[in-house]
Amino acid sequence: MKRLAMIAATSAAALTASPLHAEPLKIGIIESLSGAQTSTGRLYANAVKYGVDRINEAGGFNGEPVVVTEYDNAGGAPDAADKFRNAVADGVDIIFQGASSAIAGQLTEDVRKHNLRNPGDEVIFINLGGEAMELTGEKCQFYHFRYTTTAPMRVNALVGAMKESGDLGTKVYSINQNYSWGQDMQAAAAAAAADGGYTVVDEVLHDVNKIQDFAPFVARISSAAPDTVFTGNWSNDLLLLMKAAGDAGLDVTFATAFLDQPGNIANAGKTAIGHYIANNYDNAATDGKFAEDYKTATGHYPIFVEGHSAFALGALQQALGTVDFGGGDIDVTKIALALENTTYETPLGPVSVRKEDHQTIRPVVVSKVVENPKYPADETNMGFETVKVIAGEDAIYPVQDSCKMERPAE
Amino acid sequence: MEFAIISTLNGVTYGLLLFMVSAGLTLIFGMMGVLNFAHASFYMMGAYVAYAVSSVFGFWVGILVAPIVVGLAGMAVERFLLPRVHAHGHAHELLLTFGLALIIEELIKIFFGDFPVNYQMPAELRFSAFEVFGATYPFYRLFIGAVAVVMFAALWVLLTRTRTGIVVRAAERLPAMAEALGHNIPIVFMFVFGTGAALAGLAGAVAGAFYPTNPNMALELGVIVFVVVVVGGLGSLKGSLLASLMIGLFSSFAVGLDWSLANLLGVVGLGDWARSVGGLLTLELSSISATIPFALMLIVLLVRPAGLMGERN
Amino acid sequence: MMTMRNLLLLAVALALLVIVPPFLGLGWQNMLVNVLIASLFALAFNLLIGQAGLLSFGHAAYFGVGAFAALHLMRAIEGGLPFPTPLVPLAGAAAGLLIGLIAGYFATMRSGVYFALVTLAIAELFHSLAPQLEGVFGGESGISSMRMPWNGIVFGSMLEVYYLTLAWVLVCGLALWAYTRTPFGRLTLALRDNEQRVRFLGYSAHTAKVIIFTVSAMLTAVAGSLQAISIETANYSLFASNVSAQVVLQTFVGGSTVFFGPVIGATAFTLFSFLVSDLTRSWVFYQGLIFVLVMLYVPTGIGGVIQHHIHNRRQLDWRNMAGHYVLAFVGALLLTAGVVFLTETVAVLFGEDYAMVRHNAEGGLPPFELFGASWNPTGLLTWLLPIVLLIGGGALLIRARRRISTIWDRKGPSNATATEPLLAGGAK
């Protein structure tokens, strides 16, 4: 009865109104903990909790342990808006969310409006997985931080690494989901054509997670005879596409963004071997120390989005170390400013915030599915082998013109 | 030509899969007048049971056990749950099965988790049947199609050519009379419902090994299956076969066609205007192939409200 | 019949709704706004099923249309259009009217289960097209706006939003109630009970159905625009099937045969979700279970039961019955505890976290944490406890129910009229 307890606690606090304790830093995870994207939402929540535990082990913040509460947005933007208000009512200072750009878009707008209406009582939104360009473009704002990659970062990394290893070829097909993320991927694949020395032979956008049968799409890909297929597809759309391609005996290399989603490798089976992924983090690309730590704490190696999400908390921990409210009121704006100036060393390289649009400059790992890797995926004998780690400054793209960030008065 | 042949092949096999799932639904509705909202959930249940059983006893045992288990579950629903709400009319039967669909989905999530499970076809079925224009055609697609065709033939013969079928149809038309003739109508209905559910279970066991088996599979296919039965005419086996094939072919062909209303208007010289308007007019057919079944349904409703093969309601 | 006492009750409820919220926390105010919106949505939905016997599985379409229409107007106001913010739901109403008319024309061509399927498919059509029509629906991230001040009211605080919502919900609710009293409202009831008779009376059943559908869609759209005003954004997930499903669940659990039934259901579900949805991952499972149990044992819903008891309050031997009701309540409580315990135990044992724990324990079955205690998966108590709860609660409930129905039977059928809903606890 976490919520009931919290309500009781806040009412009791309101009644007595005696500052017995210092104000604890409150973190809210607004994730898809039920509904179709539960599996991904759960992983983000795991990683955030892992990170908060590390902060609390090191003594918490402001003289109190950091409090973390989960809010289930049921995978929908309207529910997320509702849960955001509950979080505000509970006094949350920092919000974390990852699964779905649409929800990230909703939350960043909610945060913007809340901060406009409640100066002095701001909320920070740390975006762990919303990769839509507009979040650091049209919708960019001071209190939003994106601790993940975007389409151009992933595509450029893929193009660079695959070209080096000779797997890219000269003919590229791009198939993506018809919404902002898919469109971003398609645009990025087209933009990288000159650098990669390839031509985009055909591109197609399709409905998101509604297609049952990908055989017709594979037939269309097959008739264009590409060497490499770029796709930002995730979940069922990626799995079905790869299975259909495997069944049709299509001889192409897939360059993907979400191949490491749990269940994908097991479900795709041998079909998956040789395909590429560009990602924020991969265990195989590190010395394994963080992976072991994570396993000791949670019982498993970090998978999918857990690694880079935990690093976002690491960055936050480092930033919190530079501010001190002496046990008094927490000024969220100061934390945001500290976060801007934080460069966090991850096992893959430094992650820092670009002040103009609050996109993080971060390394990207390109890996390939092989048999008998160091860290097998989904309890199969397959997994990812690192092809190349692209440093943050090489992976980053220019600030979008559409970003007009208003900074707080200092 | 190449495109047409491959699209036809893909469309027909996908259509047959749709038929396989909708056959049980059509059977139950045609015989008993009950629209089973949980039908797609039975399909999902079939896939999961087959997965659980096959991981211990092998693929073929799974295929065999899944329809039996799901059929028994269907019988239990018909025997213990439906009669309670029968007095309140078909709407309540629909609502009850709707609630069951929610429960089944959540139970599956509790037991098997939210991720897709690793349910695979056996190695001996994983080969290509033939080669068309340089691409191999997986045998398993043909296998799914064959199961569907056998299902259709068996149902059709059972209903029209056997004594059991006659009793069932009599039970549907004049239950009191059939009962007076000494047939145990509740048992007949229980078996009809069980068979319908078992068919869904079989479809799930067969298709689940080809498509991913995950907790959303019922929701994803369910709506399309309802469209199939509305287009075909509820309760008509031939109608749902026809509608399944139509929707399969439409979705398959749409993928390869970058047509939009703007292109169409371009023929009469309004192309530029349409492109400037944007929105609905510039959507390419390939990007909305999943929307086509719904549009098709509205057209059929306008032209033939009872569905392609349905009787007037 | 609006008796003096009913009027008084209504006035008290109204007074509470107006006076209490300022003293509540932000979270509760937000919850009340949700309750109000859900109530209007359910009432509008119930116009179709309760009045005309048409079961819609796609009411999310009109809810979403209302929300988007309201947001477009809000954006225009933001851009300088001189339109009073409190009247924004009018845009939703207009859009709902238009879309409802078109969709209703198609959907009401068929009745019964066909109708349900067609409405479902129309909502799906919106759901799959909306993310692709950037101009209208703003792609997958949707469109957003901000409430603009009007006549000195800033609409920045939750409380202002609450009063605005309350006013609209009261007006629409009252209109709906009045509608059921009009001759046309009576005609729609006849549509539900005997469509053929309506046709023989010279009315076009199809036209009448289209009109009801349109009214229902319009008020649903008003509910949608109220939500748009409250959360200031809308995206295509408003058209999702779970939105349509929620209103079905709420209406029938609350009771579709009683005017206020849907409000009861909407309130109960919203409150429940506010309190427990962040606690358990099996929340949707419990919702489904509650719904199925209501369908099986209380087909008239909570509202139907209450109404039935109120109608017969003078004939009943309350003193004799009270004990049995308490017993039944205790039984139900034990049963619920058993089901929840069992579900949560299974959820833990089959969950991913436990799989990891087991993996690390090399195949053993380590104990797990639940409800603040540690349980051993192979321990007797872990399984005996829910079984005892289930059997004990079940036995208690069945016994109490039998007694209660005996008392009801003794009362005799003198008062029972044809239109009266069936008894909840079920004599049969």
**At C198, which CATH number?**
1.10.3470
Indicate whether C270 and C321 sit together in one domain: no
Mean of per-residue pLDDT scores for chain A? 88
Cβ-Cβ contacts under 8 Å, C135 against chain B: 278-279
pLDDT of residue B303: 80
Sorting pLDDT into bands at 50, 70 and 90, what band is C420? Answer: very low
Q: How many percent of chain C have pLDDT more than 90?
A: 24
Residues 215-234 of B with CB under 8 A from A: 216, 219-221, 224
Sorting pLDDT into bands at 50, 70 and 90, what band is B311? Answer: low
Contact B193, B33 (CB under 8 A): no
pLDDT of residue A53: 94
pLDDT of residue A254: 94
Q: Which chains touch C (3 or more CB pairs under 8 A)?
A: A, B
Sorting pLDDT into bands at 50, 70 and 90, what band is C11? Answer: confident
Q: Is the pLDDT of residue C139 over 90?
A: no
pLDDT of residue B94: 87
Q: How many percent of chain C have pLDDT more than 70?
A: 93
Q: Tell me: the pLDDT tens digits for B77-121?
A: 998 888 888 877 777 888 899 999 989 998 998 888 877 787 888
Neighbours of C208 (CB within 10 A): 20
Sorting pLDDT into bands at 50, 70 and 90, what band is A124? Answer: very high
Sorting pLDDT into bands at 50, 70 and 90, what band is A13? Answer: very low
Q: Distance from B268 to chain A by nearest Cα, in Å? A: 26
Indicate whether C277 and C338 sit together in one domain: no
Contact A225, A218 (CB under 8 A): no
Q: Which residue spans of chain A are classified as CATH 3.40.50.2300?
A: 2-149+287-361, 151-279+363-395
Torsion of CA C285, C286, C287, C292, to 10 degrees: 90
- C106 has a chain B CB within 8 A of its CB: yes
Q: Tell me: the pLDDT tens digits for A252-289?
A: 999 999 999 888 888 788 888 999 999 999 999 999 89
Q: Tell me: the pLDDT tens digits for A218-235?
A: 888 988 899 999 999 988
Per the listing, tokens 């135990």 go with: C345
Of residues C282 and A64, more confidence is placed in: A64
The total of structural domains in chain B comes to: 1
Q: Tell me: the pLDDT tens digits for B7-36?
A: 888 899 889 999 998 999 988 888 888 888
pLDDT of residue B277: 65
Of residues A325 and B256, more confidence is placed in: A325
Sorting pLDDT into bands at 50, 70 and 90, what band is C416? Answer: very low
Comparing A90-104, A324-338, B219-233, C309-323, which segment has the lowest mean pLDDT? C309-323
Sorting pLDDT into bands at 50, 70 and 90, what band is C417? Answer: very low
Mean of per-residue pLDDT scores for chain B? 84
Contact A127, A135 (CB under 8 A): yes
Chain A: residue whose CA lies nearest to C284? A34
Decide if C10 is inside a domain.
no
Under an 8 A CB cutoff, do C156 and A117 touch?
yes
- For B95, the domain range is 2-215
Comparing A46-55, B62-71, B244-253, which segment has the lowest mean pLDDT? B244-253
Q: Is the pLDDT of residue A55 over 70?
A: yes
Of residues A360 and C368, more confidence is placed in: A360
Mean pLDDT of A321-344: 92
Under an 8 A CB cutoff, do B256 and A216 touch?
yes
Sorting pLDDT into bands at 50, 70 and 90, what band is C401? Answer: confident
Mean pLDDT of B207-214: 84
Strands A276-279 and A253-256: parallel
In chain B, what are the helix, strand and coil shares in percent, each to the nearest 5?
A: 75, 5, 20
Chain A: residue whose CA lies nearest to B209? A267
pLDDT of residue A8: 47
Under an 8 A CB cutoff, do B252 and A220 touch?
no
Indicate whether C161 and C126 sit together in one domain: yes
Q: Tell me: the pLDDT tens digits for C14-33?
A: 888 888 888 888 888 999 99
Comparing A98-107, A196-205, C180-189, which segment has the lowest mean pLDDT? C180-189
Q: Is the pLDDT of residue C403 over 50?
A: yes
Q: Is the pLDDT of residue B260 over 80?
A: no
Indicate whether C195 and C139 sit together in one domain: yes
Q: Distance from C326 to chain B by nearest Cα, in Å? A: 26
Under an 8 A CB cutoff, do B226 and C120 touch?
yes
Q: How many percent of chain B have pLDDT more than 70?
A: 92
Comparing A3-17, A98-112, A351-365, which segment has the lowest mean pLDDT? A3-17
Q: Tell me: the pLDDT tens digits for C197-213?
A: 777 777 788 888 899 99
Chain B: residue whose CA lies nearest to C54? B91
Under an 8 A CB cutoff, do A179 and C284 touch?
no
Residue B289 is nearest to which of A207, A215, A236, comparing CB atoms? A207
pLDDT of residue C214: 94
pLDDT of residue A9: 47
Q: Tell me: the pLDDT tens digits for B288-302?
A: 777 888 888 888 877
Contact A241, A218 (CB under 8 A): yes
pLDDT of residue A69: 92
Residues 113-152 of C with CB under 8 A from B: 113-114, 116-118, 120-122, 124-125, 128-129, 132-136
Cβ-Cβ contacts under 8 Å, C133 against chain B: 279-280, 283
From CA A163, how far away is CA A169, in angstroms rounded?
A: 8
Of residues B4 and B74, more confidence is placed in: B74
Q: Is the pLDDT of residue B312 over 60?
A: no
Cβ-Cβ contacts under 8 Å, B94 against chain C: 55, 113, 116
Cβ-Cβ contacts under 8 Å, B287 against chain C: 132
Comparing A259-273, B241-255, C184-198, which segment has the lowest mean pLDDT? C184-198
Q: Is the pLDDT of residue C363 over 70?
A: no
Decide if B296 is inside a domain.
no
pLDDT of residue A120: 87
Indicate whether C327 and C273 sit together in one domain: no
Q: Which stretch of DSSP H or E encloses residue C178?
A: helix C158-181
Residues 211-270 of C with CB under 8 A from B: 241, 245, 248-249, 252
Under an 8 A CB cutoff, do B95 and C351 touch?
no
Mean pLDDT of A63-85: 89
Which of B7, B10, B14, B102 is the best mutation test for A, with the most CBs of A within 10 A? B10
φ and ψ at residue A92, rounded to 5 degrees: -70, 140
CB pairs under 8 A between B and C: 127
Indicate whether C209 and C153 sit together in one domain: yes
- C27 has a chain B CB within 8 A of its CB: no
DSSP characters over C192-254: HH-HHHHHHTT--HHHHHHHHHHHHHHHHHHHHHHHHHHHSEE-GGGGSHHHHHHHHHHHHHH
Q: Name residue A255's beta-bridge partners.
A: A230, A276
- For C182, the domain range is 23-289
Mean of per-residue pLDDT scores for chain C? 83
Classify domain A151-279+363-395 at the CATH superfamily level.
Response regulator (3.40.50.2300)
Indicate whether C222 and C324 sit together in one domain: no
Q: Tell me: the pLDDT tens digits for C153-179?
A: 777 788 889 999 999 999 999 998 888
For the segment(s) A2-149+287-361, the CATH number from 3.40.50.2300, 3.30.1330.40, 3.50.50.60, 3.30.70.1520 is 3.40.50.2300
Mean pLDDT of C88-111: 91
Q: Is the pLDDT of residue C220 over 60?
A: yes
- C362 has a chain A CB within 8 A of its CB: no
C26-46 and C158-181 helices, crossing angle to 10°: 20
Q: Distance from C114 to chain B by nearest Cα, in Å? A: 7
Q: Is the pLDDT of residue C414 over 60?
A: no
The total of structural domains in chain C comes to: 2
- C372 has a chain A CB within 8 A of its CB: no
Which of A212, A239, A261 is the best mutation test for B, with the most CBs of B within 10 A? A212
Enumerate helices (H) and strands (E) in chain C, giving the number of each. Answer: 18, 4
Chain A: residue whose CA lies nearest to C137? A179
φ and ψ at residue A99, rounded to 5 degrees: -75, 120
pLDDT of residue C412: 55
Decide if C9 is inside a domain.
no
Q: Is the pLDDT of residue A15 over 50?
A: no
- Four-residue CA torsion sign, B273, B278, B281, B287: positive
Chain A: residue whose CA lies nearest to B132? A248
Cβ-Cβ contacts under 8 Å, B219 against chain A: 36
Cβ-Cβ contacts under 8 Å, A179 against chain C: 131-132, 139-140
Q: Show the beta-strand stretches assigned E in A209-363.
A: 228-230, 253-256, 276-279, 343-346, 349-353, 360-361
Under an 8 A CB cutoff, do A82 and C231 touch?
yes
Chain B: residue whose CA lies nearest to C110? B305
pLDDT of residue C254: 92
pLDDT of residue C155: 78
Sorting pLDDT into bands at 50, 70 and 90, what band is B237? Answer: confident
Q: What is the DSSP letter of A409?
A: P
Decide if B163 is inside a domain.
yes
pLDDT of residue A255: 94
CB pairs under 8 A between A and B: 118
Q: Tell me: the pLDDT tens digits for C250-260?
A: 999 999 888 88
Query: Chain centroid to CA A106: how far?
Result: 16
Indicate whether C128 and C266 sit together in one domain: yes
What ipTM score was computed for the predicted complex, to two decimals?
0.86
